[in-house]
A = this chain, B = another copy of it.
Amino acid sequence: MTAYQDLSDHFGRIAAVSDALGILQWDNDVMMPVGASARRGESLAALNVLRHGMTTDPRLGDLIASAEADTGLGVWERANLREIRRIWTVETALPADLVAASARAVAACEMAWRQARAASDFPALLPRLAEVLRLQREIAVAKGERLGLSPYDALLNDYEPGGRSADIDLLFDDLAAFLPGFTAEVMERQARRPADPPLEGPFPVETQRALGLRMMAALGFDFTRGRLDVSTHPFCGGADDDVRITTRYDEADFASALMGVLHETGHALYEQGRPAAWMAQPVGRARGMSIHESQSLLMEMQACRSAAFLAFAAPVLREAFGRSGPAWEAEALRRRFTRVAPGFIRVEADEVTYPAHVILRYRIEKALIADQMPLSELPAAWNAGMAALLGIVPPNDRLGCLQDVHWPSGGWGYFPTYTLGAMTAAQLFDAARQADPGIMEAIAGGDFGPLVGWLRTHVHGLGSLYETPELLTRATGRPLDASVFKAHLHRRYLDEA
């Protein structure tokens, strides 16, 4: 057996443990009875320790060096080896007890967060969150030292390999300067047009679920390798060949679940479209979180809030809910699904105000990781940032700094990828339409085949073969910038509004 084959087998076994963790985490959020949480925390911690032990196996350093000297490897093998070295470098930066302590702190903090959010009680969460943050800083410092990165960039690197906050600062400062004036102009424009009549509920959960399944099928979701379920916080998770998305239903408003399903289906199509031959190898993984989020936003925002999609969807919605009238016409639905209004909740935000939510969180988490702000000041900093970026202040912390699971669950350095994803989505969708002008017409007929086919070739099927900038340059002709995203917003919300 060559060194490369030995490594490949080893990382295949690591993938099998990661798959187990994916299903256990899904079960934790979707199925688990409440009294099992303590023992489940032990199980997740134990498997994380075992996986960490596998990725830091003392044999790996020499094996990687030997494989790198192997001149017989193909392009995929060499890229796989590059990803293996990346993982090994990051993982060997952390002692096993730090990994286990972080997993336990996160499990406890997530439980506390559920109660604290319900009660809008930030002080109740503070000690648990401080412990998570303390451990995240330890992790950030250890990884940063190993990788030659600042602590924040070391965390960002886990979600966005190669990403740097210096670059993000430039992109986000650009958006932060553009959006307030643009948002005001859009809202002024929308205020002048007559209000559409309301979409009157109730919309039964079972009907919404059937509609979601129908739309997932239209987009190309493979139900032999995935599921749709319910959880408090929607996500796309599961395992290889077992991609599980979740949503939550509101009988008074079908749109949030429907758009959520379309969003998570975008993530799921990426996971289901990864290269089958490399599914369980590092090079077969999704490239990073900004590309991942680009796939969900490309579906939800770019494709499914378009006039073309709503021409297809309007009669489906009317039939599903047994409704009719002017509010249910395609153009009225398009206006509704592109309505802009600053709000408190990130996951309910429209695509124009969404970046402000992300920029707020990005700036705060950078300051917290750099220890430039006490955690106890989080609510005040949050509210000040909301006032500055969106012109509104949440009346309580449930609608403010307690709304997201990311920080309690240890997901620091993740938030910027949402807006990097939005910009990437605009750039990819634009390139796809230029490459295949029939894409929008097909979508208007309920056929996502041409769009998904282009994505399979230029994104999904490539896994982690290329670094993110190269992936984007090959697909769109240039690295990421904000111009296509801004042009998209201008066209949709001013030119075509």
User: Contacts A46-B13, A227-B31, A280-B42 given: A242-B36 contact, CB under 8 Å?
Assistant: yes
Smallest CB gap from A225: residue in B = B35
CB atoms of A17 and B39 under 8 A apart: no
User: Is A223 an interface residue when CB atoms closer than 8 A count as contact?
Assistant: yes
> Which of A20-28, A118-126, A369-377, A468-476 is found at the contact surface with chain B?
A20-28
Q: Which residues of B contact A17 (CB under 8 A)?
A: 43, 46-47, 50
Check if A315 is an interface residue, CB within 8 A of chain B. no
**Is the CB–CB distance between A36 and B222 below 8 Å?**
no
Asked whether A34 is an interface residue with its Cβ less than 8 Å from the other chain, the reply is: yes
**Is A29 on the interface with B (CB-CB < 8 A)?**
no
In terms of DSSP, what is the predominant structure of the interface of chain A?
Answer: helix
Given A47-B20, A280-B42, verify A35-B239 contact (CB < 8 Å): no
Contacts of A241 in B (CB 8 A): 35-36, 38-39
Does B19 lie within 8 Å of A239, measured CB to CB?
no
Task: Tell me how far the C-beta of A285 lies from the nearest C-beta in chain B, rounded to whole angstroms.
Answer: 14
- Total chain A interface residues with beta-carbon distance under 8 A: 38
Q: Which of A17, A20, A40 has the most CB atoms of chain B within a 10 A radius of its CB?
A: A20
Asked if A397 is at the interface of the complex by the 8 Å CB criterion, the answer is no
A380 proximal to B (CB < 8 A): no
Counting CB contacts under 8 A, is A300 at the interface?
A: no
Q: How far is the CA of A241 from the CA of B42 in the complex (A)?
A: 12
Q: Given A23-B27, A46-B20, A50-B50, are A39 and B239 also a contact pair (CB < 8 Å)? A: yes
Q: A38-B241, A239-B36 are in contact. Are A46 and B16 (CB under 8 A)?
A: yes
- Which residues of the other chain, B, contact A2 by a CB distance below 8 angstroms? none
A71 within 8 A of B: no
Give A residues with C-beta under 8 Å from B: 12-13, 15-17, 19-20, 23-24, 27, 31-36, 38-40, 42-43, 45-47, 49-50, 222-227, 239-242, 279-280
A-B contact pairs, 6 of them (CB 8 A): A15-B42, A19-B43, A20-B47, A36-B239, A39-B242, A40-B242
